[in-house]
Amino acid sequence: MTETLLSVRDLKVSYQVGKGSIDAVDGASFDVPRGSIVGLVGESGCGKTTVARALTRVIADNASITGGQILFDGQDIAALPEREMNALRWRDIAFIPQSAMNSLDPVYTVEYQLNEVLRRRGGLGRRQARARCEELFEMVGIEAGRLGDYPHQFSGGMRQRVAIALALALNPKLVIADEPVTALDVIVQRQILDQLRELQSMLGISVILVTHDISVVAYVCDRTVVMYAGRIAEAGPMDAVLMEPSHPYTMGLRNAFPDLKGAASGVLTPIEGAPPNLAFPPPGCRFAPRCPFAVETCTTQQPALGMVAPDHRVSCHRADEAAKLRQEAARTETWLADA
């Protein structure tokens, strides 16, 4: 588990908007160990999807990677020529989008689309491709008899399974899944997550799971990276980050989530305010305006991503007081007083 497959170093992605530019991702660093599922969590607009897309280098026309490195198997793919990057996509790095309907062409059968990938990109012959299609469908739990169906003939959950099969077609080393279960009902969501976990351990691949739901992270991930306003707030082993959060934002997220197994009388506590406008980010820590523990340094100085425990990094000026802050953060009044 210690060997690193992907290492993102100080990644910056900017969007050109009119004459100005917005740094949607501003210096993100994290690692993906081989054979692990890493959850990339955050609210809408925090840059998690931009990071995920930057890793495949399929980003919007007005966006560009303006700094940092993406070391995949030791090779910096941020600097790779487009032609070589294209060869890497799907074969080594595959993508599962949020809505499978968007990645499947409605006018072709599923088998045709799988074949396209297997024969064009994978160089398989007709026989081999057919066998691989059946194998893939068996892997994701759909009968091979449905290979000839069109995307609209599948239910939402089935379509997501097809999208997983499509992503796994060429045995990638890394799969990036962007909110793969957000649009699904709880039961289907659970079945897809079980499938993903099973395939991941069976094939020994690494998965980056982009989500806004820390319950999903708690269910399947080995590691967690929490993003806020384009930066990494906290990153580390999943249970350490969720059970002993060291960044006030992670503590706040924990309070805001309903827990079905918890006490009935528990009160949910919102984080007051809204994420900053990235065109005019606040100086210092970006969470400071909403943070109940902010001190003067927080509003002037940008915190660095520092180690609080082996393999557990946090970007907070008061990270060394984390234990004390956790106790205070558990009280609802802490979050209301500063509103």
Rounded Cα–Cα distance for residues 162 and 142 (Å): 8
Out of 19, 127, 152, 261, the residue judged to bind other proteins by CB under 8 A: 261
- Residues in 42-61 at the binding interface with other proteins, rule: CB under 8 A: 43-44
Considering the rule CB under 8 A, would residue 190 count as an interface residue with other proteins? Answer: yes
Considering the rule CB under 8 A, would residue 2 count as an interface residue with other proteins? Answer: no
Considering the rule CB under 8 A, would residue 156 count as an interface residue with other proteins? Answer: yes
Out of 27, 68, 151, 157, the residue judged to bind other proteins by CB under 8 A: 157
Out of 1, 60, 79, 274, the residue judged to bind other proteins by CB under 8 A: 274
Considering the rule CB under 8 A, would residue 191 count as an interface residue with other proteins? Answer: yes
Considering the rule CB under 8 A, would residue 258 count as an interface residue with other proteins? Answer: yes
Torsion region of 116: left, alpha or beta (phi above 0 gives left; psi -120 to 50 gives alpha): alpha
The type of residue at 263 is A
Rounded Cα–Cα distance for residues 224 and 321 (Å): 21
CB of 262 to other proteins, least distance (A): 8
CB of 36 to other proteins, least distance (A): 14
Element spanning 115, H or E: helix 110-115
Which residue(s) pair with 65 in the sheet? 13
Rounded Cα–Cα distance for residues 110 and 106 (Å): 9
Considering the rule CB under 8 A, would residue 279 count as an interface residue with other proteins? Answer: no
Rounded Cα–Cα distance for residues 29 and 231 (Å): 9
Distances (CA, A) of 197 to 6, 98, 105, 139: 19, 17, 27, 12
Rounded Cα–Cα distance for residues 212 and 217 (Å): 9
Considering the rule CB under 8 A, would residue 218 count as an interface residue with other proteins? Answer: yes
- Residues in 114-153 at the binding interface with other proteins, rule: CB under 8 A: 141
Stretch touching other proteins by CB under 8 A, among 51-59, 77-85, 186-194, 312-320: 186-194
CB of 127 to other proteins, least distance (A): 29
Joined tokens for residue 258: 């309903």
Rounded Cα–Cα distance for residues 163 and 105 (Å): 11
The dihedral through the CA atoms of 10, 82, 196, 153 has a sign that is: positive
Out of 19, 83, 127, 267, the residue judged to bind other proteins by CB under 8 A: 267
Considering the rule CB under 8 A, would residue 269 count as an interface residue with other proteins? Answer: yes
Stretch touching other proteins by CB under 8 A, among 50-58, 62-70, 100-108, 180-188: 180-188
Q: Sort strands 206-211 and 20-33 into parallel, antiparallel or unpaired.
A: unpaired
Applying CB under 8 A, the residues found at the interface with other proteins are 43-44, 141, 155-158, 185-191, 193-194, 197, 212-216, 218-219, 238-239, 242-243, 252-262, 264, 267-272, 274
